[in-house]
Amino acid sequence: MSLEVLRWNELADIKDELAQRDWFMGTSGNLSIKVDEDPFTFLVTASGKDKRKRTAEDFLLVDCKGRPAGETSLRPSAETLLHVEVYNLTNAGCCLHVHTVENNVISEIYGDEGKVVFKGQELIKAFGKWEQDAELTIPIIYNSADIPTLARDFAVHLKDEWGAVLIRNHGITVWGRNGFEAKKILEACEFLFRYELLLSQYKSLPKPYQTVK
Ligand SMILES: CSCCC(=O)C(=O)COP(=O)(O)O
Ligand SMILES: [Zn+2]
């Protein structure tokens, strides 16, 4: 089996899992996985598809600038430039972008601060943060409609080989050294977002309802 087919199947499996969680509402989201270093190529989702379906036209191979690497009628994701930045600036092997209600609400609540910080949460260990008082900071960037501008703002936060950036009222983009790691980070982020929202709802209840009987 060629490396491209191997990576295709890996990304298709990740896509199926994220689809089962209903993380591709209204054709939103895009995924990519590195295939080769020389010449540099990666597979990226075709734009505007229903990502809950598994078809032979789900992904296309693109080059280091996000242009189709061969003859195809498929259009790479409109947000391919963000994936290009990930592979250009980090050692990542996979990049995932999803829109969920939870990541959008968190990005709006903390948007003016430009970041959301998590502390005292077991799941920040998914980011390799194992120290007692470790903090996880997820940057939040402005959702520029101009994709090159969005990609430039996003690229500022590409320091490590894994990480996450929220795009305000748009979604989250995560990356990792491989598909397993990127998915782990995405799941951890969505857990933390849901926890934060549930906890703030609970805290807003009048005192008697806060008492667990
Ligand atoms: C209908 S969602 C708007 C575009 C977007 O944010 C997205 O994630 C999906 O775009 P793509 O071109 O990758 O299908
Ligand atoms: Zn998007």
Query: How far apart are alpha carbons 45 and 205 in whole angstroms?
Result: 42
| CATH at 176 | 3.40.225.10
- 35 within a domain of the structure (yes/no): yes
Q: Is the pTM of this model over 0.90?
A: yes
Which ligand gives the minimal distance to the CA of 29? 1
Ligand 1 centroid vs 70 CA: distance in angstroms? 22
Which residues, 6+ apart, have CB-to-CB distance to 98 below 8 Å?
A: 18, 23, 24, 28, 29, 171, 172, 186
134-153 tens-digit pLDDT: 999 999 999 999 999 999 99
Residue range(s) defining the domain that contains residue 195: 3-202
Query: How far apart are alpha carbons 97 and 92 in whole angstroms?
Result: 14
Please tell me the total count of domains within the chain: 1
- 208 within a domain of the structure (yes/no): no
Ligand 1 centroid vs 172 CA: distance in angstroms? 12
- 163 within a domain of the structure (yes/no): yes
90 lines ligand 1 (CB under 6 A): no
Query: How far apart are alpha carbons 50 and 73 in whole angstroms?
Result: 17
Return the SS3 of 4: helix
Say whether pLDDT at 210 is over 90. Answer: no
* Predicted pLDDT at 171: 99
79 lines ligand 1 (CB under 6 A): yes
State mean pLDDT over 87-92: 98
Ligand 2 centroid vs 52 CA: distance in angstroms? 15
Q: Is 83 annotated as a binding residue?
A: no
- 189 within a domain of the structure (yes/no): yes
**Residue 28 burial (C-beta neighbours within 10 Å; 0-12, 13-18, 19+):** middle
* Predicted pLDDT at 23: 98
* Predicted pLDDT at 81: 98
Dihedrals φ, ψ of 184, to 5°? -60, -45
- 212 within a domain of the structure (yes/no): no
- 83 within a domain of the structure (yes/no): yes
26 lines ligand 1 (CB under 6 A): yes
- 213 within a domain of the structure (yes/no): no
- 139 within a domain of the structure (yes/no): yes
